[in-house]
A and B are shown apart, each in its own frame.
Chain A
Amino acid sequence: MLISRRNLGIGLGAVAAGYALWPRRARWEQDVPAGRVALRYWEKWTGEEGAAMQRVVDRFNASQDRIFVVRLPVAETYSKAMVAIGGGDPPDLVGLFSWNVPYFAQSGALLPLDGLDQAAYPRAIWELLCHEGRAWVGVNTCYSLALYSNRAHLAEVGADPERPPRTLTELDAVAERLVRRDARGRLERAGFLQAVPNWWPYLWPLATGGRLFDDATHRVTCDTDACVAAYEWVSATAQRHGRLDSQGFARGFDRSNLSAADPFLSGQVSMIVQGPWMANVARSKAPDVDYVVSPMPVAESVYDPERPQGLLEADVIGIPRGCPHPEEALEFLAFTQRPDVQAQLCSDHCKPSPLVERPADFEANHPNPYVDVHERIVRSPAAAVLPRHRAWKSYSDLLVPAFERIWTGADPRTELAGVAARAQGLVDRSDAAHRAREARG
């Protein structure tokens, strides 16, 4: 008897449903050896930095036979992790930025790490791992920002290549001599521009002793005199270089930073504030560039050679709430906090160590010839961190257009007052909601 059309349809439907529902391993865990607990680890790093983290993962996987970590590179990890956690399907481990910690911790998106040993971390690093007195993440390399100067360029204008500028006055004086213009009068080379790279428009108040936020009172302080003075210095730099010309010059590097066409490595900007990864890029993309690294120049009133100023931030690793294997995830996280593991990873990233204890030969064998400068900033009592508040991202996104408007001639005090008013509202609303939730229990 021929099969009826109806029965054929039912049969095909059953086969399709069976295929769809048949249990099988997800693609990410297909290489996991049998019998091991597979952990999903979302990390933002790709390229050389991703490969370095993979070496840490491989070392852990080889060190025991119970757990197998699979590193998955994920762009914009923090927003995707929040959606995954909210949706009930989080990874076992997630790599974040330290400025994400207040938001994730306050939302209850991470498991607390009460077992972390505070004594293992320098003061400023410990601050980055904590929120409201409790540790929520482990550290996974850190960075401090410093001034990278092209030695040949400094020598060319009669400045001492062994003594890069230390104060804003010295910086401005040398930068002015380094400027080169083409026949049309357009910038061909700049000495120093705060807009190159345009990654941290919120950094400059550090140079004048200003702070963007008062952690104790939760007051936005970007409109204080010290902060206004910093942005007046920014505005004066733009004015000297030609506001629109220098803006266009700076934006031309938006997509070439940290490539072979990087403004500093290609010699188009002689001095630049950057992180330690610059050494990594320099050795692979422009090994012939001869540079020197020093702490960020600051105003004379702030300068103290024993207390170098600089922004300190860290990459961190946390365990999302609701993850499938929290105990195994904690085991991997503890492994990453070992001094020898961090030393290996930081060395591969050209970064300073985020731990108090380092292998004796850490600096001697480090591929970054100026890691000591970054280390000094990490351990400096004057090292500054970004505001520890969940509203920071929205606050910083207000500072970006304000910085751009100041660059093109807007009054710094007016711009910063506008940012402060809006950002304070965001902070207050966030705090009020937090208090209301706590009151509800």
Chain B
Amino acid sequence: MSARGELRTGLVWTAPFWIGFALFTAVPVALSIRYGFTQYDLIEDPLPVGGANYAEIAHDPVFWTALRNTGIFAACSVTLNTVVALALALLLEQKLRGRELVRALVFAPTLVPISAVAVGWLWLLKRDDGLVNTALGALGVAGPDWLGDADWALATLVLMSGWIVGAQVMVFTAALRDVPKSLLEAAAVDGATAWSRLWRITLPTISPAVAFNVIVSAIWALQVFALPLIMTRGGPQNSTLVLSMYVYQNAFQYGRMGYASALAWIQFALTCALTIAAVRFARRRVHTRVGAAG
């Protein structure tokens, strides 16, 4: 078959994707750029307002609160998830009894719908008769009002996000199997401690996996929506209101689709900027093996 024929055949077979992508992603995304410069409520014709939406965002205290909350959540949850996932992957690489069961248990939360996870945690974290505070009470510690206290609510959501690390653990586990055993053994023979072997051999070798996990987790964390929506609805005192929720509120509850589009583009720009920065940083610092694919 000629190159042109191959191209045509390829396009025909991938047409369902391209049509769906154009209809449900490309066109709405393109329209949202336009709507960001209008006042639009889904029913009436969009009313051009120039850059008024972006100017309003700059002076909107709720936006700044949501941005701050999103930033804190992303920074803390990415760090926590990466550390927890790496620790679990290292643990699961040890020759322990019941390792396969533990691996399944670690991955299980990833398979449970987020709404079910959230409702389960709501019961665990109740102030007076939740299991967590009851257990803390048995140890003589007065547990806080995890989701009801504005000083604790966002931290609680971060802690909860550390529970859903199955996918990251899988990536780390695969990467750990690529760490040359000979290098680790040689280092051990030379007297390197376990910490030294981890820091100087294992981590540099799996650094591409670390970079991948950090970038993917950051993108997820910057778009977090369902968890705070179900757990706290953004409260108390807007302490868990995140950008995605604020976009949703404006679009579908306040009928401000134009303003919501502008907010969404700012969120997109921030996510892109952080991702590009992370990729550039990774290019400089991540260890890649030349010819590993052989």
Residues of chain A having any CB pair with chain B under 8 Å: 79, 82-83, 85-86, 103, 107-109, 186, 244, 247-248, 251-252, 255, 321, 390-391, 393-394, 397-398, 400-401, 404-405, 408, 418, 422, 425, 429, 433, 436-437, 440
Q: Is there an interface contact between B43 and A248, defined as CB atoms closer than 8 Å? A: no
Interface residues on B, range: 20 to 34
Label chain B's interface by main secondary structure: loop
Which chain B residues in 221-249 approach chain A with CB under 8 Å? Answer: 235-238, 249
A109 CB contact (under 8 Å) in B43, B148, B252: B43
Interface string of B54-66 (1 = CB under 8 A from A): 0010001110000
Is the CB–CB distance between B145 and A244 below 8 Å?
yes
Residue of B nearest to A184 (CB): B142
Beta-carbon contacts under 8 Å, B32-90 to A: 39, 41-45, 47, 49, 52, 56, 60-62
- Tell me if A82 and B148 are in contact (CB < 8 A): no
B120-128, B166-174, B193-201, B275-283: which lies at the A interface? B120-128
Given A107-B43, A247-B145, A82–B150 Cβ distance below 8 Å? Answer: no
Q: A86-B42, A393-B254 are in contact. Are A255 and B122 (CB under 8 A)?
A: yes
Q: What residues on A are CB-neighbors of B238 within 8 Å? A: 401
Measured CB to CB, the closest approach of chain B to A110, in angstroms, equals: 10
Residue in chain B with minimal CB distance to A395: B254
Distance between Cα atoms of A397 and B60 in the complex (Å): 14
Check B237–A405 contact: CB distance below 8 A. Answer: yes
B253 at the A interface (CB under 8 A):
yes
> Given A85-B42, A404-B236, A248–B252 Cβ distance below 8 Å?
no
Are A248 and B235 closer than 8 Å at their CB atoms? Answer: no
A332 to B43, CA, bound (A): 25
- A248, A390, A400, A422: the one contacting B145 at CB < 8 Å is A248
- Distance in Å: Cβ of A35 to nearest Cβ of chain B: 34
Q: Is the CB of A107 within 8 A of B44?
A: yes
- Docked Cα-Cα span, A109 to B236, in Å, equals 33
Q: How far is the CA of A83 from the CA of B149 in the complex (A)?
A: 35
* Contacts known (A404-B236, A422-B61); A251 close to B44, Cβ less than 8 A: no
Instruction: Say whether B253 contacts A79, CB under 8 Å.
Output: yes
Q: A103-B255, A108-B44, A248-B145 are in contact. List 17 more A-B contacts (CB 8 A).
A: A85-B42, A85-B43, A86-B42, A107-B42, A107-B43, A108-B43, A247-B148, A248-B128, A248-B149, A251-B145, A252-B126, A252-B128, A394-B250, A394-B256, A401-B238, A404-B236, A422-B61
- A-side contacts of B39, CB under 8 Å: 429, 433
List residues of chain B with CB within 8 A of the CB of A436. 47
Taking CB atoms, residues of chain B closer than 8 Å to A404 are: 150, 235-237
**B residues less than 8 Å from A244 (CB atoms):** 145, 149
Nearest residue, chain B, Cβ from A107: B43
Which B residues between 1 and 54 are near A, CB-CB below 8 angstroms?
A: 39, 41-45, 47, 49, 52
User: Are B127 and A390 in contact, with the CB atoms below 8 A?
Assistant: no
Residue on A nearest B258 in the bound complex, by CB:
A433
A83 x B249 contact (CB < 8 A): no
| Min distance, Cβ A207 to any Cβ of chain B, angstroms | 23
- Cβ-closest chain A residue relative to B129: A252
> Which residue in B43, B149, B235, B249 is a CB contact (below 8 Å) of A82?
B43
Nearest 8 A/B pairs, CB to CB: A86-B42, A251-B148, A248-B145, A107-B43, A79-B252, A394-B254, A401-B238, A433-B39
Contacts of B252 in A (CB 8 A): 79, 82-83
Quick one: which of B256-290 are within 8 Å of A by CB? 256
Q: How far is the CA of A321 from the CA of B237 in the complex (A)?
A: 38
When the two chains form their complex, are residues B237 and A408 in contact, meaning their CB atoms are under 8 A apart?
Answer: yes
Q: Are B42 and A400 in contact (CB under 8 A)?
A: no
Cα(A248)–Cα(B41), bound, Å: 38
Inter-chain CA distance A247–B153, complex, in Å, is 13
CA of A377 to CA of B126 in the docked complex: distance in angstroms? Answer: 37
Question: Is the Cβ of B56 less than 8 Å from the Cβ of A429?
Answer: yes
**Cα distance, A103 to B39, chains bound together (Å):** 14
How near does chain A come to B97, taking the closest CB pair, in angstroms?
41
Shortest beta-carbon distance, B118 to chain A, in Å? 12
With a cutoff of 8 Å between Cβ atoms, the chain A residues found around residue B255 in the complex are: 82, 103, 107, 390
A425 nearest CB neighbor, chain B only: B56
Q: How near does chain B come to A82, taking the closest CB pair, in angstroms?
A: 5
Closest to B48 in A: A436
Question: A82-B43, A390-B255 given as contacts; is B150 within 8 A of A252 (CB)?
Answer: no
Interface centre among A82, A391, A408, A418, by most B CB within 10 Å?
Answer: A82
Q: Min CB distance, A95 to chain B, in Å?
A: 17
- The distance in angstroms between the C-alpha atoms of A418 and B61, with both chains bound, is 9
Pairs A–B under 8 Å by Cβ, sample size 12: A79-B252, A82-B43, A82-B255, A103-B41, A107-B43, A186-B128, A247-B149, A255-B122, A401-B237, A429-B52, A433-B49, A437-B45
Residue of B nearest to A247 (CB): B148
**Cα(A397)–Cα(B236), bound, Å:** 12
Q: Which residues of the partner chain A approach B147 to less than 8 Å between Cβ atoms?
A: 251
Residues of A within 8 A of B43 (CB): 82, 85-86, 107-109, 321
Q: Nearest CB to that of A254 among chain B residues?
A: B148
- Which residues of chain A are near B256, meaning CB under 8 Å? 394
Residue of A nearest to B122 (CB): A255
- Once A107-B255, A251-B145, A404-B237 are accepted as A-B contacts, the answer to whether A397 and B249 lie under 8 Å apart by CB is yes
Are B42 and A82 neighbours in the complex by a CB distance under 8 Å?
A: yes
A205 to chain B, nearest CB (A): 20
B60, B237, B250: residue with the most chain A Cβ atoms closer than 10 Å? B237
A251 to B153, CA, bound (A): 13
- Complex alpha-carbon distance, A251 and B148, angstroms: 6
Question: Which residue from chain B places its CB closest to the CB of A245 in the assembled complex?
Answer: B145
Chain B contacts for A437, CB-based, 8 A: 44-45, 47
Nearest residue (CB) in B for A188 is B128
- Looking at the complex, which one of B45, B61, B127 makes contact with A251 (CB distance below 8 Å)? B127
- What B residues does A107 contact at CB under 8 A? 41-44, 255
Contacts of B128 in A (CB 8 A): 186, 248, 252
A-side contacts of B62, CB under 8 Å: 398, 422
Considering the chains assembled together, what is the distance between the CA atoms of A164 and B71 in angstroms? 50
